[in-house]
Structure 1
Amino acid sequence: MPEGHTLHRLARDQERLFGGTVVAASSPQGRFAEGAAQLDGQLLTGTEAYGKHLLHHYGNGRILHVHLGLYGKFATGRGEPPEPRGALRLRLVNDAAWTDLRGPTACELLTPDAVETLLARLGPDPLRARQDPAAAYRRVARSRTPIGALLMDQSVLAGVGNVYRAEVLFRARLHPLRPGRDVPERLWLGMWDDLVTLMRAGVRAGRIVTTRPEDRPAGRVTRDRAHYVYRRTGLPCRVCSTPIAAAVLVARNLFWCPTCQAPTP
């Protein structure tokens, strides 16, 4: 599932291509035909992302809400769009560019009140301005749930997925099964700052790189050099050489180093 940096990058790129222009909207698949008809010929006044949610604001007051889920994706290009094929949920076109949306979990029109309700259910987003990490910590500090599960709870923290979860816990040397209430506030705030840095870099680069230069071979950061523990089960830790462990937590694979992230004595 795309993590928060992907949605923020999409919002930025779509604002650049379509913001301030009138768009032609259609639903070749037909599943979003009624919604597309309400967007067709409208001015896209702005785009934004919150966590894993993408929002388009239109001049007629309509707000498009997209959640990509596990299978959703956008394809984008300039000039004349290709002939529609397959399960194409939504196509947006202006004089210069086009974008196609396939397979999202959510593609719907919301009222401003409904958007407010949606965002109220989410925790702070490290990629948005004026967010309060202490608000998330208040929930963490009173929970017996493992911190590895809390990081994936979008009502606690918005935008963090499986990769950032595993990697920020390693960088904090924090065992993923430690209960939230046993995580010191200073450690939580340090993880927040680390997420802000890592996720902003992810927006710029369009990929997740969490290894520090001193912990990877010199040269180009290839996929097999980009992470400390994510999808490295059984491989040696980049810091201590202990084999990386894995387990399932909240229905997702979890990765950690048993030595660098040893449980609290």
Structure 2
Amino acid sequence: MPEGHTLHRLAGQCGDRFRGRRVRAGSPQGKFADGAALLDGQRLTAAEAHGKHLFLGFGPAGWVHIHLGLYGTLRFGTGPAPAPVGQVRLRLATDADYGDLRGPTRCRLVTDGEKRAVHDRLGPDPLRAASDPEAAWARISRSRTTVAALLMDQKVVSGVGNVYRAEVLFRHGIDPYRAGRDLTRAEWDALWGDLAALMPEGVRTGRIDTVRAEHTPEAMGRPPRVDDHGGEVYVYRRAGRPCHLCGAQVRTAELAGRNLFWCPTCQAR
């Protein structure tokens, strides 16, 4: 599932291509035909993300609320839009650009109030300037749940997925199985600050890189990572391989339905 940086990047791309312009909207697949008909000919007024949710504003017509889920994609092209290929839920187009949304878990037209209700049930997002980490700390500091599970709970912290979760815990030497209430305030502040620094880089580059300068392949004389996910990481999807820092074998286990990765030495209890 795309992590929060991907949705913020998509919001920026939508804004760059369509903000202030009247768009042609359609639903070649037909599942969003009624909503697309209301958007057709309207101007895009806003594009924003909160966690893994994307919102496209069309003034009085309302907001398109998109959640990509596991299989959804939003891809762009330039020039006149070609005939749609595959199951395109929503196509937005101008003479210069087009965007095709395929396979989302959610694509619906919502009001301002319905949009606000989505924001209200999400935790603070490190990529949103107005987000307050105090709200997350209030829940984490009294929870018996593992910190690894809490970081993936979108009601606690919004936008963090499996990669950022594994990597930020490694970067701060925190055992993923520690209870939230066993974190110190200094540790939480460091985790939040790190997410707020790493995730904007993900927005900028479109990939997740979490290794510090002294641990890059060039600095360490090691081969670069070869993985469909891309990005240089410490532990994510490196189970059974040696830790870049200590050489211990990176471990994996399932936690709350997702694969967890950590170094038992660098993140000792």
Structure 2 SS opposite 1:42: coil
Superposition deviation, residue 221 in structure 1:
5.9
Residue 37, structure 1, aligned to residue 34, structure 2: no
Q: How does 1:11-90 map to 2 (within 5 A)?
A: 11-90=11-90
Q: Among all aligned residue pairs of Structure 1 and Structure 2, give the percentage whose two residues are the same amino acid.
A: 56
1:30-83: CA deviation from partner (whole Å, max 9, x where unpaired):
000011011111011110011000001112241000000100001211101121
Residue 212, structure 1, aligned to residue 212, structure 2: yes
Aligned to 1:231: 237
Superposition deviation, residue 217 in structure 1:
2.0
1:159-184: CA deviation from partner (whole Å, max 9, x where unpaired):
00000000000001000010000011
Structure 1 SS opposite 2:148: helix
Q: Which runs of 5+ in 1 are unaligned?
A: none
Superposition deviation, residue 130 in structure 1:
2.1
For 2:260 and 2:5, how far apart are their aligned partners in 1?
Answer: 20
Paired residues in the alignment total 263
Aligned to 1:136: 136
For 2:61 and 2:82, how far apart are their aligned partners in 1?
Answer: 29
Aligned to 2:153: 153
Deviates more, 1:12-21 or 1:81-90: 81-90
Aligned to 2:9: 9
Which among 239, 253, 261 is matched to residue 259 of structure 2? Answer: 253
Deviates more, 1:45-54 or 1:57-66: 57-66
CA separation of 1:156/1:236 partners in 2, compared to 1, >3 Å: closer, same or farther?
A: same
Which stretches of structure 1, 4 residues or longer, exceed 6 Å deviation after superposition? none
The answer on whether the counterparts of 2:147 and 2:179 sit within 8 Å (CA) in structure 1 is: yes
Structure 2 SS opposite 1:254: strand
Q: How does 1:109-124 map to 2 (within 5 A)?
A: 109-124=109-124
Give the letter for the 1:146 counterpart.
T
Give the letter for the 2:132 counterpart.
D
Superposition deviation, residue 131 in structure 1:
1.5
For 1:105 and 1:27, how far apart are their aligned partners in 2?
Answer: 15
Give the letter for the 2:173 counterpart.
R
Aligned to 1:127: 127
Q: Which runs of 5+ in 2 are unaligned?
A: none
Structure 1 SS opposite 2:266: coil
Structure 1 SS opposite 2:191: helix
TM-score, structure 2 as length reference: 0.95
For 1:18 and 1:221, how far apart are their aligned partners in 2?
Answer: 37
Superposition deviation, residue 135 in structure 1:
1.2
Aligned to 1:190: 190
TM-score, structure 1 as length reference: 0.97
For 2:121 and 2:59, how far apart are their aligned partners in 1?
Answer: 26
